[in-house]
C-alpha cells in the first residue's frame, strides 16, 4: 500500500479576495504546503490504531467516533509512504497550544471542536490527552479516505493517527470531549472538480456531534471552537452552522479561538469564563453549502454520493467518499 503524497490538485481561485467571510476550509485551501513522505516498513493494522483512540463503551461520547479513515490501513501491502506531518508548522503549533492548555487546566464546562488541518487536530487532541490533569476524550470525525488524486489530503490525518500516540487507552466517563475535525473537508468549494480528481470531501451532519440537550446532560455549557487563524475565520464552517445555532438557542455559549490565543494564557491558568467570554461567536442563520445545489453540481454528483471503500488492488479507490455522516 502506498499513500499518495499530497499536492493541491485543483487550481486556486483567481477571485479569492472577494470571498467573505472566511471559513476554516476556505482559508486552508489557499495555503499549499507539500509534505515530504516518510517510509514506514511496518503496516499498522486498522485494529491496532483504532485501539489507541477507542473510547470506553460507557463514555457518553463513544457513539460519535468515526473510524472510517482507518479502513484505509486494511490494504494488503507491506510498505507504506505516509506524509511526514511533523514538517507541517501547524502541527507543532497545535501541540504547543495543547501543552499550554494542559498546564493551565481545562475549563470544566467545555466541549472542544477542533477545526484545524486534520493532522493538527489530531496533534492537539493527542497532546491534550497525554498532558492534561483532567481526563480527555478525543473523538475522530474524519469521514473519508485517501485517493491517488484527491481534493482533501486525507493521508495527513491518517498519518497523524498512526504516528501520534494519545497515551494510555481508556478515559473516565467524565472526560472532557475533544472533537477532531479536518478543516479541508469542504475545501475548494467554488471550483468544479475535474473528471480525473477524486472528490473525497464530506460534510458533518447535526447527528455527528452531540445535540444541545446531550451537552446539558453532561454538564457542558460552552463549546470552544478552535481554528488555525481568527484573522482568516470569522464564522463557523457551513456544516456546523445549524448545530451551533441550536447550541446558541439553548444557551450554550460558542467561543471562537485560534492557536495563537493560547500563547497569551496568564501564568497559573486563566479565569476561563471571563477570558472566553471575549471570544464569543454570534452565530447567525445564513445560506450555507449544505443547502446549495450548485455546490453538489460542481462536484459532478460525487460529493455526498455513494460511499466507496479503499481498493486493495493497487492504491486508493477511484470512488468518492462524500456523505453526510456515517462511517
> Each residue of 222-233: pLDDT tens digit?
999 999 998 888
| Digit-coded pLDDT (tens) for 146-196 | 887 888 889 999 999 999 999 987 677 789 999 999 999 998 888 888 888
Q: What local confidence, expressed as pLDDT, does residue 240 receive?
A: 97
Number of domains in the chain: 1
Can you tell me the mean pLDDT for 49-71?
Answer: 93
Domain assignment present for 320: no
Residues 65-108 pLDDT 10s: 999 999 888 765 656 778 899 989 999 999 999 999 999 999 99
Instruction: Enter the C-alpha cell of residue 221.
Output: 455549557
What whole-number distance in Å separates Cα of residue 225 and Cα of residue 24? Answer: 11
Per-residue pLDDT at 79: 67
pLDDT confidence of residue 22: 58
Contact 82, 154 (CB under 8 A): no
- Would 308 be classed as within a structural domain? no
Whether the Cβ atoms of residue 119 and residue 125 lie closer than 8 Å to each other? no
Edge-first strand listing for the sheet containing 110-116:
136-140, 176-182, 110-116, 222-227, 253-258
What cell numbers appear for 186 in the block? 469542504
Q: Is residue 314 part of a domain?
A: no
Q: In this structure, is residue 288 part of a structural domain?
A: yes
How far, in Å, are 39, 138, 177, 295, 323 from residue 204 at the CA level?
Answer: 32, 17, 17, 15, 8
Q: Which domain holds residue 256?
A: 16-298
HSE-up (13 A, CA, CB side) for residue 322: 17
SS3 state at 252: coil
In a domain, 313, yes or no: no
Q: Is residue 11 part of a domain?
A: no
Q: In the predicted model, is pLDDT for residue 292 greater than 70?
A: yes
Cβ–Cβ under 8 Å, residues 226 and 45:
no
283-310: average pLDDT: 73
β-pairing verdict for 176-182 and 222-227 = unpaired
In a domain, 326, yes or no: no
pLDDT tens across 312-321, in order?
A: 223 433 333 3
Amino acid at each position: 500500500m502506498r499513500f499518495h503524497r499530497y499536492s493541491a490538485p485543483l487550481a486556486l481561485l483567481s477571485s479569492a479576495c472577494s470571498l467573505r467571510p472566511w471559513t476554516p476550509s476556505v482559508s486552508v485551501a489557499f495555503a499549499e504546503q507539500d509534505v515530504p513522505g516518510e517510509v514506514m516498513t511496518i503496516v499498522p493494522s486498522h485494529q491496532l490504531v483504532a485501539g489507541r483512540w477507542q473510547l470506553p463503551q460507557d463514555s457518553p461520547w463513544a457513539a460519535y467516533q468515526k473510524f472510517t479513515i482507518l479502513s484505509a490501513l486494511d490494504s494488503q501491502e507491506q510498505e507504506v509512504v505516509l506524509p511526514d506531518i511533523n514538517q507541517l508548522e501547524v502541527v507543532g503549533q497545535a501541540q504547543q497550544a495543547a501543552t499550554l492548555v494542559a498546564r493551565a487546566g481545562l475549563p470544566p464546562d467545555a466541549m472542544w471542536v477542533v477545526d484545524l488541518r486534520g493532522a493538527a487536530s489530531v496533534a492537539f487532541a493527542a497532546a491534550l490527552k497525554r498532558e492534561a490533569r483532567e481526563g480527555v476524550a478525543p473523538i475522530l470525525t474524519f469521514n473519508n479516505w485517501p485517493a491517488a488524486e484527491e481534493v482533501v489530503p486525507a493521508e495527513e490525518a491518517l498519518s497523524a493517527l498512526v504516528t501520534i500516540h494519545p497515551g494510555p487507552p481508556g478515559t473516565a466517563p467524565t472526560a472532557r470531549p475533544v472533537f477532531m475535525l479536518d478543516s479541508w473537508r469542504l475545501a475548494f468549494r467554488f471550483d468544479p472538480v475535474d473528471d480525473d480528481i477524486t472528490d473525497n470531501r464530506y460534510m458533518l451532519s447535526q447527528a455527528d456531534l452531540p445535540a444541545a440537550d446531550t451537552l446539558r446532560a453532561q454538564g457542558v455549557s460552552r463549546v470552544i471552537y478552535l481554528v488555525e487563524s481568527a484573522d482568516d475565520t470569522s464564522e463557523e464552517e457551513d456544516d456546523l452552522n445549524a448545530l451551533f445555532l441550536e447550541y446558541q438557542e439553548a444557551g450554550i455559549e460558542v467561543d471562537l479561538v485560534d492557536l495563537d490565543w493560547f500563547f497569551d494564557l496568564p501564568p497559573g491558568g486563566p479565569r476561563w469564563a471571563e477570558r472566553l467570554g471575549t471570544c464569543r461567536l454570534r452565530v447567525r442563520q445564513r445560506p450555507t453549502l449544505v443547502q446549495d445545489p450548485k455546490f453538489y453540481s460542481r462536484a459532478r454528483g460525487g460529493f455526498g454520493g455513494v460511499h466507496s471503500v479503499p481498493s486493495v488492488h493497487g492504491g486508493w479507490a477511484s470512488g468518492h467518499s462524500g456523505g453526510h455522516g456515517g462511517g
